[in-house]
Structure 1
C-alpha cells in the first residue's frame, strides 16, 4: 500500500481506540520494551512526548520510569525547521506547542546524538522496519546523524500486516518495533 493510504488507515484505527484502550496498550508496549531491552541507570534515551489529540503511545510511562531509574532522558523539539534534542529532568518546565505537544520551555540543544535507545513515534511500520510518520521528515533527518549503535525503536498499537510500496531512498528503517504483542527486530542477525 502507499504511504498516504496507510497513513489514513492507521490514523482512523488509532482514533477508534478509547482512551482506556490506548492507555492499556501503551502499558503493554512499555512492559515489552522493559523486558526486551532491559534499560539501566546511566543509559541515554531519546523519546518523544505524545500528542494526546492523535492518541499517540503514552510515553509518559516510559519517561517517568527512566527518570526514576537515573536513565538520562532526551526529548525532541522542533525549533524553526530543525529538530533539536533537549535533556529533561524531574523539574523541567514544559509548555504546549502550536502542535499541541508538551515541550520543554528551553531551546537549548544538548548537542547529544549518542543514544542507547531512540524511541520513535509513528503511524505505521511494516515488516521491514519502514515507518510512516506524519510526513514532515524530521525523524529521517535525525536518523541520518545517529551512530549505528543507537537502537531506533518504533512503538505502535498495531502489528505490521502490509508492506509500504513507496519507500523512498532517504527513508531510514527502524531497528525494532515494539507492539502490545511482540518485539520485532529488523537487524537481520547483525546484533
Structure 2
C-alpha cells in the first residue's frame, strides 16, 4: 500500500483545480520505485484475472503504460498467449487505443511486438489493425485520479471522455494506486465515471 506524505495530504484538504490535482498526483506517482510499481501492478492483475475467469467470452480494452502507470503488460501477454482459452475455455480478446486525428479508437491486438510509438510516446496498434467497436467490454482505463463519485481525472485531452461518452454500454475499470482515489478536484459533467476502481493492495 502506497500512502501520501503528510505534506501532500494537507494540500488535498481543499478542492483543487484539475491542474493542481494533476501536478500533485503525478509528482507522487513519479516518485514511486520500480519495486512499488511492480508490486501494485501485480496486485491489480490478480483482480483482473478473477474478472476474466468469471467470464465465458470477454473483450478487454487496455492501455500501454507510460511512466509509473500501473503496468498491465504481463496480463496482456497472458491473454495473447491463449492462456485463458487453454486453461479455462474462455475466449479473451485484447484491444488497445490509438489516437486518430482528434479522436481515439480501439483496435484488436494479437501481439505486443507489433505496436508502434505515437507522437505522445505511447505504444499503440498500427493503423491497419482491425478496429473494435466495443459493446459489453471490460475497459481498463488509465487515470491520474478519481473523486469520491469515481469521476476520472486524466491528462486533459478528453479522448476517453469523448469516446465513452458515446460508447456507453461498457464497464469502465480504473486500476489505481491508493493515493489516486477520493481526490477532491473540480470535476465537470463530461468527466466519465469509472464503474469500478481497482485499488492496488
TM-score (norm 2): 0.80
Q: Secondary structure at the match of 1:32?
A: helix
Equivalent of 2:172 in 152, 166, 170: 152
Deviation at 1:110, TM superposition (A): 1.3
Deviation at 1:91, TM superposition (A): 7.1
Greater alpha carbon shift after TM alignment, 111-120 vs 35-44: 35-44
Q: Secondary structure at the match of 1:71?
A: strand
Question: For structure 2, which runs of at least 5 residues remain unmatched after alignment?
Answer: 1-15, 85-90
Question: For structure 1, which runs of at least 5 residues remain unmatched after alignment?
Answer: 182-191
- Alignment deviations for residues 31-83 of structure 1 (CA, whole Å, 9 cap, x no partner): 123235645453111111112xx211102022112223241011100011110
The count of aligned residue pairs is: 177
Distance 2:98 2:127 in 1: 9
Deviation at 1:173, TM superposition (A): 0.9
Partner of 1:11: 26
Distance 1:13 1:119 in 2: 21
Partner of 1:163: 184
Distance 1:6 1:37 in 2: 32
Which runs of 4 or more aligned residues in structure 1 lie more than 4 Å from their structure 2 counterparts after TM superposition?
none
Q: Secondary structure at the match of 1:31?
A: helix
Q: Secondary structure at the match of 2:119?
A: coil
TM-score (norm 1): 0.83
Decide which structure has greater helix share.
Answer: 2
Partner of 2:8: none
Distance 1:11 1:173 in 2: 20
Partner of 1:126: 147
